[in-house]
């Protein structure tokens, strides 16, 4: 999802670890100062950090269209959405920081490639219809994952998710609204909407990560309740929900083998190309280099602001002490 | 990372944010953020935590100034209340004849 292929550290078998697991099994929330196994802490830092980075990097494909939105209203809405993504990143960094890592450390790990962000943001946004597809499909897929995470075992993470989920629904609806406008517009607009769906369908399915039925990492994360559903469950749920929405728009999901099964109550669909997914994660997607370069530039260009504000704060504090 | 390490890196300090949601309610902890000073913490709190009219008033407090109880003290601190059920009005049986009390 926004956190993909997060490596889970193994649990130890100490009495503390067993008592800890019992707390989680009883549905208790774990809070920052509580005892927790090292593996739980490390896995959560990786997962929440990756989630936060995805929110921040996720601003780039949409930021691309702020100056080119078709109307002032669309521009104001997109600006508000991108601002929300920044906010979501901040909520999540704060949650990660309660585990003993600092935001600047996490940022540095993103910038030098030690930490990842979601594969989806390595695809370009070529037309205005892509703003619709991103809101509808990408935020829609994110919601699938984030709603159950509101019940995750780690208190600060769960609370960040509650805030995020409240805001995320606006994102998906504004995306679908753009798609409706385009799909019901001129023939050129309709083609643009179809083209956006064609390009974002499989990358959206990849967001959930590869099938994890054989993954031991996944089993441990589920026992710790930091992963609430399997990747396949969430992907299926996403397809089942999204296909009728595409039909409503009069658009065609780019999957000739897509089929509804009455007996299972689910769609059968084609899996995305997992070799492409792995390649994007390795840094070879269409926009990986651009995204990291943009984040590095923002960080480097902002260094004087960060330092200057600290110097100003020091000076003010010194003046206040002197006045007392 | 210790607070000393963070200071050495010149990271912006952490602030805790409290928001009064409506008139008549108390301020409630909503999250934290980084800022160089109180003025900036206030501006950031407004942008990060009240984009949808979530509040009518904001407090920001340096996180380092908060003293918290330790999870290990939970028993000694809070368990003694368990055997003082007479602190609750339902402990006392008042006959119905007495009327509302």
- For A28, A94, A272, the CA distances from A151, given in Å and listed in that order, are 10, 18, 29
Each residue's pLDDT tens digit, A297-320 = 999 999 999 999 999 999 998 998
Q: Chain A contact for B31, CB < 8 A?
A: yes
A280 within 8 A of A122, measured Cβ to Cβ: yes
Where in chain B are the domains? 10-65+73-98
Nearest CA in chain B to A170: B52
DSSP per residue over A147-195, as a string?
HHHTT-SBHHHHHHHHHHHHHHHHHHHHHHHHHHHHHTS-HHHHHHHHH
Class of domain B10-65+73-98 (CATH, top level): alpha beta
Distance (Å, whole) CA B25 – CA A302: 39
DSSP string, A253-309: -S-TT-EEETTTTEEE-PPP-HHHHHHIIIIISSSHHHHHHHHHHHHHHTHHHHHHH
pLDDT of residue A276: 96
Q: Please enumerate residues of A whose Cβ is less than 8 A from a Cβ of B.
A: 31, 33-35, 80, 83-84, 87, 90-91, 94, 97, 100-105, 159-160, 163, 167, 306-307, 309-310, 312-313, 316-317
Is pLDDT at B7 greater than 70 in this prediction?
A: no
Best residue in A16, A41, A306 to probe B by mutation, most B CBs within 10 Å?
Answer: A306
Cα–Cα distance, A32 to A36 (Å, whole number):
9
A251-289: pLDDT as tens digits = 999 999 999 999 999 999 999 999 999 999 999 999 999
Task: For residue A1, name the pLDDT band (cuts at 50, 70, 90).
Answer: low
pLDDT number for residue A162: 95
pTM: 0.92
Cβ–Cβ < 8 Å for A34, A159:
no
Looking at the DSSP bridge assignments, the partners of residue B71 are none
- B70 — phi, psi (to 5°)? -85, 145
Task: Give ipTM to 2 decimals.
Answer: 0.87
pLDDT digits (tens, 9 = 90+) for A91-140: 999 999 999 999 999 999 999 999 999 999 999 999 999 999 999 999 99
Cβ(B8)–Cβ(B44) under 8 Å? no
Say if CB A6 and CB A217 are below 8 A apart.
yes
- Contact (CB<8Å) B31/A163: yes
SS (H, E, C) chain B: CCHHHHHHCCCCCEEEEEEECCCCCCEEEEEEEECCCHHHHHHHHHHHHCCCCCCCEEEEEEHHHCCCCCHHHHHHHHHHHHHCHHHCHHHCCCCHHHCCC
């Amino acid at each position: 999802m926004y956190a993909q292929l997060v490596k889970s550290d193994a649990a130890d078998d100490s009495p503390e670890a067993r008592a800890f697991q019992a707390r989680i099994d009883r549905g208790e929330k774990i809070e920052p100062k509580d005892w927790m196994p090292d593996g739980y802490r490390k896995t959560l830092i990786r997962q929440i950090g990756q989630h936060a980075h995805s929110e921040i990097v996720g601003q780039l494909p949409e930021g691309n269209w702020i100056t080119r939105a078709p109307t002032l209203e669309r521009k104001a809405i997109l600006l508000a959405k991108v601002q929300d993504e920044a906010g979501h990143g901040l909520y999540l960094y704060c949650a990660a920081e309660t585990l003993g890592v600092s935001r600047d450390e996490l940022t540095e790990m993103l910038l030098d490639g030690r930490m990842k962000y979601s594969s989806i943001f390595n695809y370009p946004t070529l037309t205005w219809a892509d703003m619709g597809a991103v809101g509808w499909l990408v935020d829609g897929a994110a919601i699938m994952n984030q709603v159950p995470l509101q019940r995750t075992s780690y208190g600060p993470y769960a609370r960040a998710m509650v805030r995020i989920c409240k805001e995320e629904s606006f994102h998906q609806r504004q995306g679908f609204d753009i798609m409706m406008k385009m799909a019901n517009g001129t023939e050129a607009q309709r083609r643009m909407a179809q083209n956006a769906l064609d390009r974002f369908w499989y990358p959206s399915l990849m967001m959930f990560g590869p099938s994890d039925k054989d993954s031991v990492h996944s089993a441990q994360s589920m026992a710790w309740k930091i992963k609430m559903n399997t990747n396949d469950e969430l992907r299926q749920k996403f397809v089942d929900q999204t296909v009728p929405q595409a039909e409503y728009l009069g658009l065609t999901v780019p999957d000739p083998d897509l089929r509804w099964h009455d007996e299972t109550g689910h769609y059968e669909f084609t899996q995305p190309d997992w070799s492409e997914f792995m390649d994007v994660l390795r840094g070879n997607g269409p926009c990986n280099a651009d995204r990291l370069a943009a984040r590095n530039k923002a960080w480097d260009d902002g260094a004087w602001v960060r330092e200057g504000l600290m110097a100003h704060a020091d000076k003010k504090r010194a003046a206040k002490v002197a006045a007392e | 990372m210790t607070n000393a390490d963070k200071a050495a890196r010149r990271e912006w300090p952490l602030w805790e944010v409290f928001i009064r949601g409506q008139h008549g309610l108390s301020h409630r902890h909503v999250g934290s953020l980084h800022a160089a000073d109180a003025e900036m913490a206030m501006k950031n709190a407004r942008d990060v935590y009240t984009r949808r009219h979530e509040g009518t008033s904001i407090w920001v407090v340096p996180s380092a100034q908060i003293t918290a109880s330790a999870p290990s003290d939970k028993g000694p601190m809070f368990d003694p209340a368990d055997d003082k059920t007479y602190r609750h009005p339902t402990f006392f049986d008042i006959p119905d004849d007495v009327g509302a009390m």
